[in-house]
Every structure is written in C-alpha cells, then in structure tokens.
Amino acid sequence: MSVLMPALVMALATNQPDPPIPPNMKEMECAIHKLAIQYGSRYPDKIPVMNPNSLSDALNLWNCSGTVPQKNAKPAKDLISPPSDARNSWFVDTKRGSDAIGKGSIDSPWRSVTHALAHLPTMSDRRTLFLREGTYYLNETISLTAAHSKLTISAYISDKGTEKVTLSGAGGVVTGWNCSNLLPDCKVYEAKVDLPKRGENLAPEVVNQLFANGKRMIRAKYPNADPAVTEGHCFSKPQFANEKCNWLTSTGGNTAQDPGRLVGSVALGPNRGNSPTVGCGKECNSTCATFSFNIYDPPAGHPVYNKPLPGMGWNNNSLFSRFPSPFGRPADMGVAKGDLPRQWKKPSTGIVHTFHSLLWGGWMYRIKDRQDLNITLAYGGYQEARGAQMKTNHYYVENLIEELDVPSEWFFDEDTDTVYLYPNSTEGGFPEVTIPTLDTLISVKDAHDVVIQGLTITQTRATFMEQYEVPSGGDWSIHRGAAVYIEDSHRINVTGCEFIETGGNAVILSNNVTFSHIESNEFYRTGDSGIVSLGMTNGINGMAATYPMNNTIAFNHMHEYGVYGKQTSCYFQSLTANSTVFGNICYNGPRAGFNYNDGFGGAYQMSQNLLFNHVRETADHGAFNSWDRQPYLTRSGVDDGFPDSVKLGLKGSSIVKAQSHITQNFLINGYHAVWPIDHDDGSQFYNDTSNVMVWGGCKNFLGHSKSCDHNLIVYPGIPNRSTNARRCITDGNGVFANQYFKDNQCITGDGIFYSWDHCSINDLDTEVYQTMDNQLFSPNAEFGQTCGAEITFAKWQSLGQDRGSTIANQPSIQQIISLSKEKLSFNP
C-alpha cells in the first residue's frame, strides 16, 4: 500500500525567499522573552516552579540586560491546600510506621500505602490518606478502584508546610558494592542483585533505568553524553552556539523487517467526498474522505506484540494503522567506518536510538547483531506511526557493556545478575542506588472523586520498547501507559505533584475519563510525553463512552520532555472530546508542545498557554499541531445533514465536529519549527484567535472551516528562528471553503505576507481564500507579495483579497510589546 506524505509536500511546495532578519533582532527577542517570563509568572499560586531559573534559562534571558527574574516561584507541593474535610483521616509513615501493629492514626501510622488501602474502613464520606515525609519504595503499583472512590491521597500538610513525599518505582536501595575489574583503578563498581529478567526472544529488558542519589544515570552508551541534556541531544536545527547534533550518522539500510500479516482493510462511510464544507476528497488523495484503517497481525514470535494491547477491549494483539504496517520497518543500518570503534561481545543487549529519515519522530530498535559496518535490527521503529526507509539517520547506541567508560554510566548484566556503575564520585560514601521495576506507580480504574496531591512521582521504567498503538489518523503513535494511569474514572484530580524523570509518559487519561483535572503539576525530564488523553472507538463509531471528555489540563509546568521518545509532547490527545487546556507553560522538547492527533468530536478549548522551544530535534511541525485525516461518528458534534442510513444507523451521531478555539496563547517559534499553529492534514473547525505568534504564523493544510483572526504575528519565517520561510498564513488548500485570515496584525521584513500553494491572479477563489480587515506592516509599507506575478497592494485588493486591510510601516519594539499585551489581555 502506498502512502503519500502530504505534510512534507506542503512544507516544500511554496518557494519563497527567506525573509530578512530584523536588524534589531537581539533587542527585540530580549524584549519578547522578558514579556514571556512575565506571562509565565502570572499565576505564582497556581503554576509550580522547582527551579526559579528554569524559565529564564530556557528563554536565554541571561544574554539580555535588565533580566526579569521569575517571581514568587513555589514548588508544586506548596500549592496544595488541606482537604476541606479531614475528619476521616488515616496516616502512613514509611520511616516510623508499622503494618504489623500500626492503627493508621497520626501517632500509630501504617508503613506502606498498599497496606493502608487494604485496611481503610468503608464509608460513604470522603476519606483522606496522609503520607508523611520520606521516600516510599514501591514493589507494586498503588491500585485505586471503585472501593477507593471519594479518597484523597495527600502529602501531609502541617503548620510548617507540606512535607516532602516521594513515590519511587524502585523496590529499594541496591547495596553490596565492590570494585570491579571492568576498568582499572576501581572506576567501576559492581553489585549482585535479584531483579526481574526479560522474556524470551529479545523481549524488552525489565531493568532499563538506574538512579544514584535520586538522579537518573546513563545506560552505557556511545557517543558519551546524557540524553537528557544539551550535550546529549541531536538538534535538528541549532539555535545557540552550544547546540549541535551529538549523535552519529548512519550510512543507510538495505532490508526491511517482517511486516506481519495484513488481516484486512476497513473503510466506513459516510464518505465526505469533495465537499468544500464537509469533505476532504481528491486534494487529500482520497485518504481523508472517509474512515479507513488496516489491521495487521504481528510477525510470529514478536517479543512485544505477543499479547493483547492494553485497555483496548478485545483479546487479540492485532494493530490498527492508517498507514503501512508499523512492524515493517528497516531491518539494518549502515555504520560509517570508525564511528563505533569498540567491538561488542553481545550486541543483542544493545538498543539503537535513531530518527525517522524525514525527522518526523524517533525510532528505537533492539539490536540483533553487528557485522563490521552493518547493524541488523531485531524489532522496533513502531514508536512513530508513518515509517520510512533508513537513510542517513542520526543515531546512538546504548546498553552495551563495552561502552561503559565514563562517570554516570551503568550496565546490568542479566546473565550474571550483576549491575555495574561508574559513579560520579564516592567521596562522602557510595551513592544511594535505586533501580525501577514498575511502569506505573498509581493506577486509578473504575473510581470517582479521587484526589492525588502534593507527591513527587519518579523512578519508573522506560517504556519505549513496549507496545505502542496508532490511535487515529495523525502521524503519531502512543504507548498506553504512564506513571499515573487513570482509566474509566470520573472527577479525578491530580494536583500539586512533581513528575521527575519518569521513564515514559507521566500521566494518562485512558478511555472513559470525565470531568477530571490535571492541574498545578510540574513535569521534568519525562522519558516520553507529560500528559496523554487517549480514547478508543469501534472503527468510525465513537458513540460509546470509551473516550476522555470534559477534562481540564491547567496551570502545569512542563519542560525537558521527550528524553527518549522524539515524537512526544507536553500534552497529547487522541479520540478525546471537550478538553480544556488552560494556563500551562510548555517548553524544551523534541517535537510539538501540544499535539491533537485527530478532531474526533471537537469542542476543544486551548487558551492562555505559553509554548516555546519546540521541534528542537525533529522537523516540519510547530508548537501546536493538529490532524484530522479520519472522520468519526460521535455524540459531541453538530448537525451534519447526513441521514442515519449512511451513518451505520447510529441515531444522534454526527460526523461534523463542534468548533474548537485556540485563544490568547503566547507561542514563540524556534529551532526547526515552521508554524506556531500547525493545522495539518484535514484539520477542520478551528478558530485561532487573539494569539501572539512570534517568528511564525498560522497554517492550514486541507480541511475547511478555520479562522486565523485577531492575532499578532511577529516577523514570521525568519531563518534563524524557523524553517521554510513561511509567512503570516500558509495555505495548501486550493479547494476547501470557509478559510479566514482576518483582523490580524502581521509584521514582515519584506512585505510578503502569504504563503499559498495555489495562488494565481487568474484564478483566485475568494470562497477559498478569504483575507480581510488585516493590519499589515513592512518596511516603508512595501507590498512584495506575488501571486503568479508581482502585483501591487491595490491590485491585490482588486482581486477580492484583504478587503478593508491596511498596510503601514513596521512598529517599534515597544509598540510590538504593547500590541502583545493587548492581544493577551495581560498588563503586568
């Protein structure tokens, strides 16, 4: 099956020159970034901050004079309040409690959370389980079910403040360390451990993270560098002097993995056809006109897809995909001479981290073998949905004992039950070493009215070699798992928590989760995404209550996400309706900050968020990204005009989603980003209103019924802060109606304001391209737009474009800041 890649075609189709970089670039960027830190600090009692310098560092404000510090910063635990009714309270104390004789009182606490949950009295009133200060090493997941409804689990709050409570996915501390002969001079230590082993046939290892004194160590890798910091990143387009790609580069590949068996293909109506107001037909190569997917059974003996996908509701392990088989990925990778100088005694322990060849995400593979300048790959690559050939991809290798050669590296030898560590230092004693064995620390299923607050959640396994699914028509695949797993539950609040160095996703809302709040948490160095909202459907039928709806993601501080997964985000949603995403700060990630993988039922509200420093390690994306290649029949849409007879007889269903709104967000382009708001293939029914977009503008690729209006767009497309020279609005449309660019203020350095793929003065459809009432700014009020030929602004308006618009000289930096504050309704 051949699948075109329209997003890339879109990114390259319009050949426009790079706009000039503003001559006062540094002064302007400093002013904008100072406003950004003020905007990010406007809710000091709601948005948590572990490190008061983190936002200033990310905005590079130390390079600016008169730096505005982040004011009144508080850690997450200090933002929580005592339960409103603490009469029914019980206590757990990992340091001085006892499960044998404890009574659960403040003076006689229990020792473990699992014991406490088993012994809480049953009652209809709200109950509170207070955890006293300390680190709780978990051997099993804390499982909350219907019996735990109306329960609050909280760090203890005293007159002195909230106590520091940490939940760790490591069962305990590793002891018995001795000098190893792996390297001379006792640089490396070893210890015998009793830890779970992997399954058969190169299955993912259980042990894949190690912490020393609470900090994640580096699994023995080459090239050396921590993948969580600048030196370990592969920046796809560096922005500052110390940023580059510190990975190796492959020389291509020649073979493909077994794609498994195509069980069947499904296509379901109604067909949206070529309708300009409902459909997405031939312009999308007929791939967005109806619902369609392929079903693949994994190759025989696959070590990961050998069991039913979790939470999916059926007893088989078939994988649905709108694209070719996620199993049929490249099977080998060429190595340049001299790039991997060491020989590996057991290559099959190794993992390759690499990228989709068009930088649309990251791939991870189990190594099968290595022969001189070629690595054969056992399985992997399904961590990104589209697939491609192995070309000159960047990569690094890890989990190879021969590569353990610098401080902070470690390796676990399953054959001898030996863990090796090259500590940073042993002065003051050997570090406290912990090894996670849990993916999930807290699970909430079939419960309601549960509150989890004031906890630090850390040290979970990395999950990038576990099962992923392709949930819908967007380019992304996702692992249905997280450190806090919430499924089929209602009114669940996670607030005032810190998620630090989790191995995979931090929080997931899976299936029928409603009226829940993930608020005032900080997410730092998560292995994959911060927050995931993920439903499921019966094909096109999304009528059942199997998807997240009416949930709020607010006031979270999310940064340095995607340490392992490179197709990850601060917030990811798929098969979700009526979500509210408000007042969050999101920065420093490999791909889009927020990704909406489909339109589903719509009615999304995204407002007053600050997003910047995204698409640092990938390409062809933006701070916000949406998709809508596949329609769904839901209860959340509006009247679609189709009879029930073409909608599987589903009464009350709609194929037309409710309007969504992206409002008053502060979005700063950078690195390899193209657009701050990237409405990809077929996205429909969006209003992008009153946002401040810096160094990039809006994008509409196919779809219909979108409005980019009342925004401030500042110097879009400049080459040192974006890619492909895209201007105020990019439109690869050409067919679909109700696309508006109106009442915006857009500033360019050359008078080119539009990036349109189908612009011709002889055929400019004013039902498709509707521009009006904009304030356009350029040097000396120049109009440099072309539309198949050079034209004047008067000629442009005579073609029915920019009716009521004006063009004027560029505003000053001070005026730009004033306009920004006005758009954001922000007056610091």
| Tens-digit pLDDT profile for residues 456-483 | 999 999 999 999 999 999 999 999 999 9
Looking at residue 761, what is its pLDDT?
Answer: 83
Work out the average pLDDT over 707-726.
96
Looking at residue 544, what is its pLDDT?
Answer: 95
Confirm if 755 and 14 have CB atoms less than 8 A apart: yes
Q: What is the number of other CB atoms lying within 10 angstroms of the CB of residue 127?
A: 22
Of 143-147, 163-167, 320-324, which range is least confident? 320-324
Looking at residue 208, what is its pLDDT?
Answer: 97
pLDDT greater than 60 at residue 285? no
Choice between 603 and 640, residue whose per-residue pLDDT is larger: 603
Distance (Å) of CA 684 to CA 14, 152, 601, 688: 22, 40, 11, 12
Looking at residue 277, what is its pLDDT?
Answer: 59
Of 87-96, 197-206, 438-447, 681-690, which range is least confident? 197-206
Of 466-475, 697-706, 714-723, which range is least confident? 697-706
Residue 278: band (very low, low, confident or very high) from pLDDT cuts 50, 70, 90: low
Looking at residue 86, what is its pLDDT?
Answer: 67
By percentage, how much of the chain surpasses pLDDT 90? 79
pLDDT greater than 70 at residue 283? no
pLDDT greater than 60 at residue 2? no
Cβ neighbors of 790 (< 8 A, separation 6 or more) are none
pLDDT greater than 50 at residue 109? yes
Looking at residue 4, what is its pLDDT?
Answer: 28
pLDDT digits (tens, 9 = 90+) for 640-666: 888 888 888 999 999 889 999 999 999
Work out the average pLDDT over 237-245.
92
Q: Phi and psi (nearest 5°) for 772? A: -165, 155
Cβ neighbors of 787 (< 8 A, separation 6 or more) are 756, 759, 760, 761, 764, 796, 799
Looking at residue 499, what is its pLDDT?
Answer: 98
Distance CA 637, CA 289 (A): 17
pLDDT greater than 70 at residue 9? no
Looking at residue 501, what is its pLDDT?
Answer: 98
Tell me the pTM. 0.96
Work out the average pLDDT over 311-324.
85
Looking at residue 705, what is its pLDDT?
Answer: 86
pLDDT greater than 70 at residue 284? no
Looking at residue 124, what is its pLDDT?
Answer: 84
pLDDT digits (tens, 9 = 90+) for 743-772: 999 999 999 999 987 788 887 878 777 899
Looking at residue 788, what is its pLDDT?
Answer: 81
pLDDT greater than 70 at residue 69? no
Residue 3: band (very low, low, confident or very high) from pLDDT cuts 50, 70, 90: very low
Of 273-282, 732-741, 780-789, which range is least confident? 273-282
| Mean pLDDT computed over every residue of the chain | 92
Find residue 178's DSSP bridge partners. 190
Helix, strand or coil for residue 794? helix
Helix, strand or coil for residue 785? coil
Distance CA 549, CA 299 (A): 35
pLDDT greater than 70 at residue 6? no
Choice between 629 and 437, residue whose per-residue pLDDT is larger: 437
pLDDT greater than 70 at residue 5? no
Confirm if 395 and 484 have CB atoms less than 8 A apart: no
Q: What is the number of other CB atoms lying within 10 angstroms of the CB of residue 766?
A: 13
Confirm if 484 and 36 have CB atoms less than 8 A apart: no
pLDDT greater than 70 at residue 1? no
Work out the average pLDDT over 180-209.
92
pLDDT greater than 60 at residue 553? yes
Task: From 80, 74, 96, select the one nearest 156 (Cα to Cα).
Answer: 80
> Residue 632 is encoded by which pair of tokens?
């769904």
Looking at residue 11, what is its pLDDT?
Answer: 37
Confirm if 591 and 621 have CB atoms less than 8 A apart: yes
pLDDT greater than 70 at residue 23? yes
Looking at residue 201, what is its pLDDT?
Answer: 78
pLDDT greater than 50 at residue 488? yes
Residue 631: band (very low, low, confident or very high) from pLDDT cuts 50, 70, 90: confident
pLDDT greater than 90 at residue 112? yes
Distance CA 237, CA 590 (A): 11
